[in-house]
A and B are shown apart, each in its own frame.
Chain A
Amino acid sequence: MKRVIALLMENQPGALSRVVGLFSQRGYNIETLVVAPTNDATLSRLTMSTEGDEKVVEQITKQLDKLIDVVMVTNLSESEFVERELMLIKFTKDSFPENVFDESNIVSKDNKIINVQVVGTSSELDKLISEIDANNPLEIVRSGSLGISSDEKTLTIEN
């Protein structure tokens, strides 16, 4: 089962390498990883997804929490949460599957190439990729999963 862990860390040099290093150091298998600064410029938010079992995820969250630069960690998949991923796909104009996408998906277009963007859950994107396989897309880029809890819980700190 797919698990999504999100964390806030100090937005400073070296912090990301500690988090990423931990994964390889402890043998955790990470599927996707997304990092960006938050609206509080001193913090970055990192979201990762993994297929580990509950025990592995518990260890990952505990070990992440131990890193000095990590301010807060949450296992989003512990309760209801929304997971979304962005995907960009490049087609030649000739092989563009018009029945799959509409105008709102198209982000660039010239006489040879059409780029589209799609947002959905990771499994929706997986499904879409298999649907367009026959159209031989030139390139597929995925952002990795982002997540947010469905209820009032937030991963934020009070300043």
Chain B
Amino acid sequence: MDKSNKSGAEALIHSLHLEGVDLMFGYPGGAALHIYDAIFNQNYVDHILVRHEQGAVHAADGYARATGKPGVALVTSGPGATNAITGLATAYMDSTPIVVISGQVKSNLIGTDSFQETDMIGVSRPIVKHSFLVQRAEDIPDIVKKAFHIATTGRKGPVVIDIPKDFTDPEYKFEFNYPTEVNMRSYNPPEGADTSRIKEAADLIATAKRPVIYSGGGVNQNNASEELTALAKLLNFPVTNTLMGLGAFPGSDPQFMGMLGMHGTYQANMAMHNADLIIAVGARFDDRITNDPNQFALSAKKIHIDVDPASVSKIIHADIPIVGSAKESLTALIEELKSRDLKTNESDISEWNEQIKNWRDAHGLNHSLLEMGAQNGKILPQQVIQSLYKETNGEAFVTSDVGQHQMFAAQYYHFDKPRQWINSGGLGTMGFGLPSAMGVQLAYPESIVSCVTGEGSIQMCIQELSTCLQYGLPIKIINLNNAALGMVKQWQDMQYGGRHSSSTYENSLPDFVALTESYGHVGIKVSKFDELESAMKECISLKDKLVFLDVDVDPNEHVYPMLEAGNAMDHMRLSKDEKTW
């Protein structure tokens, strides 16, 4: 490749290379063909051909979540671009750093309703952190530099680069210069620690009697897990994680209360409700956490550490706002606490931890379900997660789709490490699990990557089984098959008198084993509890094969606890006939 003169397409790929990109996901089409030709002619960046653009963006997203590096997807104009939209919205809601490059019709055709034309900038505007419409080929290097900078700094997020086809024309070459730094007067995200209120935060911590550390996806995104754990250990404060925050604090640690919120544990939700101090880190008090915000943790002072100023005091007023990097702000807080030779109210704290233990003993999750064998002749979905946990020694990457299986995975697989648990928490995108697992598996070819899914979600991106064969991705798909859209059905059971409107399939499900085998992979069916353990062992042991483990689970099982809408966090349903109020 000529080092000085490049076409727009060559400049794009070379810019990606200079950003450290060695892998991208995509799907070609007319407006992107110059770019695809440039990909063909180089060896820096591998391209993974997906089977649907939604899969490309989820795969890039999964890659980004697992590695912390930005993920890249490339799509064509029109339907290619619109198919990428769900992936963009997913990444936007969970603040993951991805860059999506879309081909666009030639610049002179924009606005003429030409073939495969969509206003990608307009369509994606509310679900991207930022977007660029390339106006000149020469601007491509500068725009790529800015796009990666924006995607990966501050509160991370997806960035779109829309490139009209004429600006990637191989006949037009220009001198390639990649900028060494980014200078944007309008973009200065908080960097480093915010120490302005650290002393006040330490004062509150020193006097707290019923503290809770509540951390979210921001801690994982900011690689602040070590600092969060250090703070919790220093103080002996109990910790809860959001769905997005799991793994930031070791899931098997006795100080961990489990997930909080809608389907959080009894002890985590009770602790939040009764706390006198909540230390929120990289979390945004969303509605699945707070339940009714007007009744949320009324006796607690709130310290809120977040890199996004707009997230602080958005839903819940922060008594001590700390707007900065979680990692560095936590470090500053730990230093402050150590410097004053901090004494917490040790007897109050141990009494509080005792109270939490009592809550756990009374209504905590049963982590020994697997040992109890079949329940009424059926396999409980929770038992499948426990079996997966056991056979993978708790060390697998677990991606998931959306619904009951997602909640069971979050509740019963104890994630000890950040970036181990990968799911669509904010948007709740069914179809996310398999393609995101492809991104994870490509990033970590030697690791066990499992996709916990349901027979509903898996069918939303099942075409990616073909991609998995092409690139030899030995993902372990664990299908909790309850022959229904489980979470929808649960709500219909609870709130709609058991009327299962369009949540079952009337015997129309495919034979997943045969389907998987037709894609060239291994399928295993499990319908009896006694087969579960050996099937799971076999599934995990087939190191080089994608295995689809289709497990028939009890179709009547509901996810509990469940917060009762419109109330405080202590209002929970604990089972079909037990509630806390």
Selected from B130, B133, B184, B309, the residue in CB contact (under 8 A) with A65 is B309
Q: Are B125 and A18 in contact (CB under 8 A)?
A: yes
Q: Assuming the A-B contacts A14-B131, A17-B122, A18-B125, are A62 and B309 also in contact, with contact meaning beta carbons closer than 8 angstroms in the complex? A: yes
B167-201 vs A, Cβ < 8 Å mask (1 yes, 0 no)? 00000000000000000111100000000000000
Give chain B nearest CB distance to A23 CB in angstroms.
Answer: 11
Q: Is B493 an interface residue (CB 8 A)?
A: no
Q: Are B131 and A71 in contact (CB under 8 A)?
A: no
Q: Is A130 an interface residue (CB 8 A)?
A: no
Complex Cα distance A70/B125, Å?
15
Q: Is A27 an interface residue (CB 8 A)?
A: no
Complex Cα distance A71/B125, Å?
18
Q: Are A71 and B186 in contact (CB under 8 A)?
A: yes
> Which B-chain residue is minimally distant from A15 (CB atoms)?
B186
Complex Cα distance A18/B126, Å?
8
Complex Cα distance A157/B310, Å?
23
Give chain B nearest CB distance to A142 CB in angstroms.
Answer: 28
Q: Are A68 and B313 in contact (CB under 8 A)?
A: no
Complex Cα distance A71/B187, Å?
7
Q: Are A62 and B310 in contact (CB under 8 A)?
A: yes
Give residues of chain B (127-141) contacting chain A, Cβ–Cβ below 8 Å: 129-131, 133, 135
Q: Are A58 and B313 in contact (CB under 8 A)?
A: yes
Complex Cα distance A59/B314, Å?
7
Complex Cα distance A157/B150, Å?
22
Add 16 more A-B contacts to A68-B184, A68-B186 (CB < 8 A).
A10-B186, A13-B133, A14-B131, A17-B122, A55-B313, A59-B310, A59-B314, A62-B309, A62-B314, A63-B310, A65-B309, A66-B308, A66-B309, A68-B129, A71-B185, A71-B186
Q: Is B524 an interface residue (CB 8 A)?
A: no
Which chain B positions have C-beta within 8 A of A70?
186
Complex Cα distance A66/B130, Å?
10
Complex Cα distance A63/B313, Å?
12
Give the number of chain B interface residues (Cβ < 8 Å): 19
Which chain A positions have C-beta within 8 A of B314?
59, 62
Most A CB within 10 A of own CB, among B129, B310, B314: B310
Which chain B positions have C-beta within 8 A of A83?
none
Q: Are B308 and A17 in contact (CB under 8 A)?
A: no
Chief secondary structure at chain A's binding surface: helix
Complex Cα distance A21/B184, Å?
22
Q: Is A25 an interface residue (CB 8 A)?
A: yes
Q: Are B150 and A68 in contact (CB under 8 A)?
A: yes
Which chain B positions have C-beta within 8 A of A6?
none
CB-based closest 6 A-B pairs: A62-B310, A68-B130, A71-B186, A25-B126, A68-B187, A63-B310
Complex Cα distance A101/B310, Å?
47
Q: Are A69 and B186 in contact (CB under 8 A)?
A: yes
Complex Cα distance A68/B157, Å?
12
> Which A-chain residue is minimally distant from B121 (CB atoms)?
A14
List 21 contacting pairs A-B, 8 Å CB cutoff, sorted by A: A10-B186, A14-B133, A17-B122, A18-B125, A21-B125, A25-B126, A55-B313, A58-B313, A59-B310, A59-B314, A62-B309, A62-B310, A62-B314, A63-B310, A68-B130, A68-B150, A68-B186, A68-B187, A69-B186, A70-B186, A71-B186
> Which B-chain residue is minimally distant from A68 (CB atoms)?
B130
Give residues of chain A (61-95) contacting chain B, Cβ–Cβ below 8 Å: 62-63, 65-66, 68-71
Which chain B positions have C-beta within 8 A of A17?
122, 125
Complex Cα distance A45/B131, Å?
21
> Which A-chain residue is minimally distant from B125 (CB atoms)?
A21
Complex Cα distance A133/B380, Å?
73
Which chain A positions have C-beta within 8 A of B309?
62, 65-66
Complex Cα distance A65/B311, Å?
12
Q: Are B186 and A9 in contact (CB under 8 A)?
A: yes
> Which B-chain residue is minimally distant from A9 (CB atoms)?
B186
Give chain A nearest CB distance to B581 CB in angstroms.
Answer: 30
Complex Cα distance A13/B129, Å?
16
Give chain A nearest CB distance to B156 CB in angstroms.
Answer: 13
Which chain B positions have C-beta within 8 A of A21?
125-126
Which chain B positions have C-beta within 8 A of A68?
129-130, 150, 184, 186-187
Q: Are B184 and A157 in contact (CB under 8 A)?
A: no
Give residues of chain B (86-136) contacting chain A, Cβ–Cβ below 8 Å: 121-122, 125-126, 129-131, 133, 135
Which chain A positions have C-beta within 8 A of B121?
14
Complex Cα distance A69/B133, Å?
13
Q: Are A157 and B187 in contact (CB under 8 A)?
A: no
Selected from A55, A62, A66, A157, the residue in CB contact (under 8 A) with B185 is A157
